[in-house]
Amino acid sequence: MNITQGHALDLIEAETGQFQLIATDPPYAFGGSGAEHALSATVATVLRECARKLEMGRWMLVFAASSWRSTSYMVEAVRGLVEPVRIATWCKPGATTKAKTPGWAWASVNVIAFRKGKGKGIASTSPDYIERAPIRNGRRAELPIEVARWAVEPFIVKGGQMLDPFAGSGCLVKAAENAGMLARGFELPLKASFAKVWK
């Protein structure tokens, strides 16, 4: 699995080629002040740079918290570069959330499918949702490989270049690689600060 350690903003700016698929599960912070604001700005800037380097007619998948605020933030981050076409849902049965809504039995994550320009539709009969519990790793919850496969499978370009700028455990990279793409990811080294210093 090809994961380059470093800050996503520096690494994406250094890229000169184009990608046939971008798929990522970035940090969900948005707004706030101080470090949270810097994190939000970094996520938005990295997503915009990735959208610029996406080949015309290809897809960009972005995981977002299920709130409209989070989903809207991700859409606005790439406005004018790629267009949101569909939203699929990863349902996490038994998950605990701060919001207790009658009849809400799971937490969910939106997966926004953006397309750059006109292109082919989604070549898949996969359902637009999947139910899987996240993998617990201490206080963190990692993406299950089944969710990663479900997300990327309709958008695979055999032999094409795939990038995950916020790779984490590398699950999306592994799923794309296993499906025949030249996949790689960016991830901060352990103990590094995510938010860039904005001047």
Does the pTM surpass 0.85? The reply is yes
Taking only the tens of pLDDT, the chain with its 199 residues reads 899 999 999 999 999 999 999 999 998 765 566 677 788 889 999 999 999 999 999 999 999 988 888 899 999 999 999 999 999 999 888 765 565 555 555 688 999 999 999 876 665 667 899 999 888 776 566 889 999 999 999 999 999 999 999 999 899 999 999 999 999 999 988 655 444 433 2
Length reported for the chain:
199
Cα(167)–Cα(188) distance, rounded to whole angstroms? 9
Sheet with 129-131, side-by-side order of all strands: 2-5, 182-187, 161-164, 19-24, 54-65, 106-115, 83-93, 129-131
Q: Which string of b and e fits 171-189 if b means at least 16 CB within 10 Å?
A: bbbbbbbebebbbbbbbee
